[in-house]
Structure 1
Amino acid sequence: MTDNRPILFFDSGMGGLSVLAPTAALLPHAPLVYVADSAGFPYGTRSEGEIAARVPALLGRLAERYDPRLIVIACNTASTIALQHVRAALDVPIVGTVPAIKPAAEISRSRVIGVLGTEATVRQPYVDDLAARFAGDCIVLRHGSAELVEIAEASLEGVAPVPERMRAVLAGLFDQPGGERIDVIVNACTHFPLVEAELAAAAPHPVRFVDGGPGIARRVAYLTEGQQWPAAPVPGKAVFTARSARTDALVPALARYGLAGIESL
């Protein structure tokens, strides 16, 4: 017997591709559905109330349409605000995305860590809790950037990030008191690994970047261990909550991630 139910990845935009890719590498026969809430993009500048109401409602509709075996909220902002609301509302296993502060603390030698995310993520008490639990002996500096989300989205359309803009984003961390000692940066937005190479090149000194993608992939593999999959890989599909010229321009990039079908919610 085979089970054709997909794994569903949800994000405000394209950042969740940085979580889908390592999951697809571990589970090559898994049917994948990638959902971008293009009608609500970007989440990083929205209020907590808006996100807490919007995400569970959308995922309820998506669960009804696609009958996923598991949902990955591949968005730090949505996870830190709405994860518990979604778990309470849906009878489907839910995997969230949280800033990778624990692994960052494990590898930092200077004990100064940067957390680079959206404005909505970096101000969350959840991040305070992660820092206290896993990086209590570290200085944890934070910076929120909506601009970097837009840069990452544009990079998928073939627009190369401008080094000066990348340096300006990173200055939000490195120019803080103690920032010159940062040796690890947490990409606390799933968009940011899409431009990690450009961020590393723009940093004033060598730093390591960490994100939650590989860990989430391992978690999904663990939760689905022993389940049946189609006998051969099947093309994935991408779903937009609103189609536009901009979303259509992303079709070639989505195909590179194995997402051949395009649908609208």
Structure 2
Amino acid sequence: MTVAPQAPILFFDSGVGGLSILAPARALIPTAPVVYAADSAGFPYGTKSEAEIAARVPALLGRLVERYRPRLAVIACNTASTIALSHVRAALDIPVVGTVPAIKPAALTSKSRVFGVLGTDATVRQPYVDRLAAEHGADCIMLRHGCAALVQLAEAKLRGEPLDPAIARAALAGLTDQPGGDRMDTVALACTHFPLVEAELAAAASRPLTFVHGGEGIARRIEFLTQGQPWPDVPAPGIAVFTRVDDHVRALAPALARYGLNRIEQL
């Protein structure tokens, strides 16, 4: 299949979390045209049922692919990936990259053999998380905690709002207060929103913790799947498309511009 240089990479998330995937991808492929899509009308995903997400995500991605004709789509959302990735791949005729919770790097990194998985409620309860732990961390204790408030904290941070440090403290306490939590040395950030507040999590920790996530690995996968394809000579302004544009979305404009997304559209 011939790919035009201007064919974009499509990044999809419920909100701004996928920017933690977009940034390393742009670092590897600086002139890649980008469409960043956020389902602001359906946000947040982490508190929705599996059935809702499995129906909503493929339908939205179908509309986005029809409008923007991307060369590749990235589901830059752990919740959507763990629930809807197979449905999306069945529905689309372009390559689709999912976002896997960073359990393998967490298990490899942990010296104490106790690591945490911090994600949304919908992600941490998936059997997929247990399979990854059995495959890559069978000799480890894996603690898990779902924290919807941390998703809201990341969105607030990008809108430039004041942040409540108690939210990050409570998120970590959800792991450290479990049996074995006093020995935990590594935390997999299993929601793409959470790397955006890694500094707040580190500041809230009572002892040094190592935080891992999958952004760089996903960027390398995008680079591999687009090997040999043409790109523009200079970066094009990126597009941020939302399923609902309201004051919360408009407040994100300065942060989106820092990620090279200079135009906001509504789907």
Structure-1 residue corresponding to 2:165: 163
SS at match of 1:79: helix
Structure-1 residue corresponding to 2:23: 21
Structure-2 residue corresponding to 1:180: 182
Give the 5 Å matches for 1:120-199: 120-199=122-201
Q: Which amino acid aligns with 1:83?
A: L
- What is the CA distance between 1:165 and its match in structure 2? 2.2
Distance across 1 between alignment mates of 2:108 and 2:168: 26
Q: Which amino acid aligns with 2:257?
A: A
SS at match of 1:141: strand
- What is the CA distance between 1:2 and its match in structure 2? 5.5
> 1:236 touches 1:259 (CA, 8 Å); kept in 2?
yes
Distance across 1 between alignment mates of 2:163 and 2:185: 23
> Aligned Cα RMSD in Å?
0.9
Distance across 1 between alignment mates of 2:153 and 2:36: 20
Task: Encode CA deviations 1:122-177: one digit per residue, 9 max, x unaligned.
Answer: 00000010000000000000000000000110000112432222111110000000
Aligned length: 265
Q: TM-score, normalised by structure 2?
A: 0.98
Identical aligned residues as a percent: 70
Q: Unaligned 5+ residue runs, structure 1?
A: none
Structure-2 residue corresponding to 1:229: 231
Structure-1 residue corresponding to 2:263: 261
SS at match of 1:55: helix
Distance across 1 between alignment mates of 2:145 and 2:240: 30
Structure-2 residue corresponding to 1:216: 218
Range with greater deviation from structure 2 (153-162 or 43-52): 153-162
Distance across 2 between alignment mates of 1:186 and 1:161: 22
Task: Encode CA deviations 1:187-213: one digit per residue, 9 max, x unaligned.
Answer: 000000000011011112101000011
- What is the CA distance between 1:114 and its match in structure 2? 0.3
Distance across 1 between alignment mates of 2:81 and 2:167: 27
SS at match of 1:71: strand
> 1:97 touches 1:216 (CA, 8 Å); kept in 2?
yes
Shift >4 Å, 4+ stretches? none
Structure-1 residue corresponding to 2:51: 49
> 1:15 touches 1:194 (CA, 8 Å); kept in 2?
yes
> 1:12 touches 1:37 (CA, 8 Å); kept in 2?
yes
> 1:2 touches 1:231 (CA, 8 Å); kept in 2?
no
